[in-house]
Amino acid sequence: MKDDRVTGGGLFEAGQRLYVDPARDLELTLVEGYSADFATLIAETVWGTDGLRYRSFGLEEEFDRIPQLYTLELREAGRLVGCYALADKTVRIGDERLRAVHRMFLAVEASRLRAGYGRLLVEQTRRHFLDGSSGPLMLYGYIEADNSRSLKLAEAIGYRRLGSFESMIFNRFRPRDDAAVRPLPDLSAAVSEQVAATLEGHYGRFGLNDLDQSVDPTHYWVLREGERVVAGVQAQRKRWRLVDLGGFGGRFLLAALRRTPVVRRALPDGELRFLALSNAFCDAGAENALWRLVEGLLARQGVTVAMLLLDPRAPLHGALRRYGKRGLLSHFGVDAPVHVMAGFAGVGEPLVTALSERPLFISSLDPT
């Protein structure tokens, strides 16, 4: 007979068992940080559903940046067969602060995909954190719009859609450097203060705001015109191995693209190496300055593609869409929306409504 009671104290007490099923020799355990088994399973997992599908490498560096990272490990007879990553954090909704848990990278070992382990992880995570919380808490995660099974499950267990975001691609096969592009650490404290104030002006009223935690000066770059900073962006390298572009003939299209000489520059060894952008801004009407900044970073980092995640309700999203000229690879199937799904414990309806009515901040500490 299974025992699905929490064993242990607080929500994030490492080592506690969230679920036990002796008949199937299953145990779900909370781990502080992550194990080598977790890193291996994440690296072997193919992400995506009906659209773009890929493997993601080098995620350990992203996990290491998260201040309070935990993982849930589902083991069958001692072998890791499923996992979840969790970040314990605080987010802002206007002037309100709320404790939040971001759930990410739900993975199930390939031979157990039809065993119901994904549903078990989702349900037990919700039960432990929302039913077990003694104070206000939000548990949230991202689900692709074309992943109908996961969306139905999330809604069935009480999650609500707060909003969506899209992946905006910028591509230059022969990017040009720009002398006006400067790393933030090379500039004065006054410039850093200007950048912080500008970011607060752009994103301060967004929901899920964690600017005080996610801005990383060591990876932040600006473009200056004279003494004025007109654009800024945070950029970190990522690496995917593409499996399928989605849709009818997606695999064949991917194979054809890999044989195209100009596209091979973006897919060396069959991998897409790109810059993940965040905390971006530019002066009104200066969208070209932001793309100049990004193109300069592509040249310096030796890659040809950059990706920026934005809520369509964000003013910057519309401005960049109208500007256009984002390059050939911006047309290949990565603009499908991703929904932000959340459950709440002890949070009043006015705050939930306020959160759903404003643009959402997509944090660099919420890797996708």
* Distance from C-alpha of 305 to C-alpha of 1, rounded to nearest angstrom: 52
Q: What is the pLDDT of residues 238-283, one digit of tens each?
A: 998 877 765 544 454 555 555 566 556 666 667 888 999 999 999 9
Is 138 domain-assigned?
yes
80 and 149 fall within a common domain? yes
135 and 64 fall within a common domain? yes
Q: Are strands 207-209 and 79-93 parallel, antiparallel or unpaired?
A: antiparallel
176 and 261 fall within a common domain? yes
Lowest mean pLDDT among 134-138, 232-236, 299-303, 330-334: 330-334
107 and 157 fall within a common domain? yes
User: Domains in the chain: how many in total?
Assistant: 2
Q: Are strands 338-345 and 160-171 parallel, antiparallel or unpaired?
A: antiparallel
* pLDDT at 111 exceeding the cut of 80: yes
Domain with 142 in it: what CATH number?
Answer: 3.40.630.30
128 and 231 fall within a common domain? no
Containing structural domain, residue 348: 17-165+338-356
143 and 172 fall within a common domain? no
First CA to last CA across the chain, in angstroms? Answer: 36
* Distance from C-alpha of 154 to C-alpha of 182, rounded to nearest angstrom: 43
Is 8 domain-assigned?
no
161 and 255 fall within a common domain? no
Q: What is the pLDDT of residues 221-232, one digit of tens each?
A: 999 998 899 999
Residue the block writes with tokens 């267990």: 157
Is 362 domain-assigned?
no
250 and 291 fall within a common domain? yes
Is 91 domain-assigned?
yes
In the chain, % of residues over pLDDT 90: 68
Q: What is the pLDDT of residues 3-39, one digit of tens each?
A: 443 333 489 999 999 999 999 999 999 999 999 999 9
| Burial of 218 per CB tally in 10 Å (0-12, 13-18, 19+) | exposed
191 and 145 fall within a common domain? no
Region 209-213 average pLDDT: 94
Within 13 A of 325's CA, how many CA atoms are on the CB side?
10
HEC letters along 144-180: ECCCHHHHHHHHHCCCEEEEEEEEEEEECCCCCCCCC
